[in-house]
Structure 1
Amino acid sequence: MAVCNQLSLAKCRFNPIGTESGVGGISGGERKRLNVASEVLTSPTILFADEPTTGLDSFMAESVVNVLKSMTASGRTVIATIHQPSSKIFELFQDLLLLSEGRLVYFGDRVGATEWFKRLGFPCPQYTNPADHIIKVRC
């Protein structure tokens, strides 16, 4: 029930996921969060999450990432692709692997990423989400 509450699924826990007619059932956001919850509940040693926040509002996206982050506290590995994370979500990351056109641009801890880009001549402006800044850099 804890994961259900963390992902705001408690209110729809008795709703059908879908119907034969395709009308009704849980929303797209609830379906996305249910997919994450079903994977989390299996307690995998390694979890690959392909864009688990796409289509979610910022609050729900942060909730999903917080649940994934909590898995890492118990020794599990979570690997996720997340496009354009908010600054709050970016701060939840531990390590980053950044690719550009299939080439490795950066691999290391999140905190070191802004320093790395600064040394390359791309300092992150004050009050700018580091993830937004990194996305705009052309290496």
Structure 2
Amino acid sequence: MIGGTFVRGVSCGKRKQVCIGLEIIISPSLFFIDEPTSGLDSTTALKFIELLQDIAETEKTVITTIHQPSSQLFHKFDNLILLSKWRLLYFGKASETMVYFSSIGCSPLISMNPVES
């Protein structure tokens, strides 16, 4: 559905891209996007996150929720707020997440995707 109208032959991922594209054209200073990669294949999800990075580099604020991102997507984020059962577990640079959890005794025994730790 785009603007309240169903469009035949348009996949869920494409509809999501069009809707987000329409929001980008308006050019707000803050973007809050809920699960933009859901329903997208890994290549499209990565390209979309890179697009959001480009937007953030134009002095815009981009906030998004991502559930279980691949390690490749995870490493694209600058900052991370990690919640569990509505409680704050971590807030800081995404690149320092594993260092933080290791410092409090929560390091994985093997190298793995930080999201799976």
TM exceeding 0.5: yes
Identify the structure with bigger relative contact order (alpha carbons < 8 Å, sequence gap 6+). 2
1:66 counterpart residue number? 50
User: Which structure is larger by alpha-carbon Rg, 1 or 2?
Assistant: 1
CA distance in 2, matches of 1:77, 1:23: 31
Distance (Å, rounded) in 1 between the aligned partners of 2:24 and 2:47: 13
User: In the alignment, what sits opposite 1:82?
Assistant: 66
Whether 2:44 is the aligned partner of 1:36: answer: no
**Same amino acid, percent of matched pairs:** 41
Residue 114 of structure 2 corresponds to residue 101 of structure 1: no
Counterpart CA distance in 2 for 1:31 and 1:109 is 32
Question: Which of structure 1's runs of 4+ aligned residues deviate more than 6 A?
Answer: none
Q: Quote the Cα distance in structure 2 between the aligned partners of 1:94 and 1:64.
A: 15
How far is the alpha carbon of 1:23 from its aligned partner? 7.3
TM-score after normalising by structure 2: 0.89
TM-score normalised to the size of structure 1? Answer: 0.75
CA RMSD of aligned residues (A): 1.8
**8 A Cα contact 1:51 1:83, kept in partner:** yes
Q: Distance in 2 between matches of 1:23 and 1:34?
A: 11
| Aligned-partner residue type, residue 102 of structure 2 | K
**What is the CA deviation profile of residues 13-66 of structure 1, one whole-angstrom value per residue up to 9, with x for unaligned ones?**
xxxx69x7x672311110011122112222210100000111111111111111
